[in-house]
Amino acid sequence: MDSIFDKVDCVQCRLSGACLPSGLNTEEIVQLEAILKRKRPLMADEYLFRQEEHCTSIFVVKSGSFRSFIWDVDGEEQTIGFYLPGEWMGLDALQKSGRYHCSITALETASVCELPLKYFNNLCAKELNIQAQLLRIIGSQIISIQENIVLLGSRSATEKVAAFLLALSKRYNALGYSGTDFNLTMPRHNIASFLGISIETVSRQ
């Protein structure tokens, strides 16, 4: 018997406008729901997947938030991103190696929708509209990465923290949440790692 976490209803989901079902017709959404899985909730600091693991699924944040990071050449963690509801994780593994380029952990109790890659690839090959929607999502992530590069460029610590908060504000607002009153689920040391500044500087700013 399927568990409650296997049942997915994209049409009723409040995030559908920011996720893959946006722009799909009813038949395409039904086919997508047929392959979607809902994993059990993850606890804070629990891994969704680890760097260099073979990719078997890609994921969408259902609730909560996540952090992505890589291990640098010195063996230190480098935070490279944060994910909010409706945002995709694991797309970096859609490359030749088929392995995740980073690790992702939950920042709080969080849940995801899982798309097993084998079935999703078959669906995209059959339904070109779903494939086109995925490409739009990948394009949006590329823009986000480019904006992060600008954020981490030659700016002062004050400008980096301000730009980081403004970017979060826009993302929350796009999800229908308040853009002026929201929780920072990521610890200060994660923010410092992401922005390339010290924890003390983050605290002061």
pTM, whole model, 2 decimals?
A: 0.87
Tell me: the pLDDT tens digits for 146-183? Answer: 888 888 887 899 999 999 999 999 888 888 888 888 88
φ/ψ of 204, rounded to 5, equals -65, -40
Domains of the chain: 4-204 (2.60.120.10)
Q: List pLDDT tens digits, range 60-110.
A: 999 999 999 998 778 889 999 999 998 999 999 988 889 999 999 999 999
pLDDT in tens, 26-73: 888 888 888 888 888 999 999 999 999 999 999 999 999 999 999 877
Residue with tokens 């590069």: 149
In the chain, where do the E strands start and end? 37-38, 47-49, 57-63, 66-71, 77-83, 88-89, 103-106, 111-116
The answer to whether 80 and 51 are in contact (CB under 8 A) is: no
d(CA 13, CA 33): 12
Q: Residue 28 and residue 119: Cα distance in Å, rounded?
A: 14
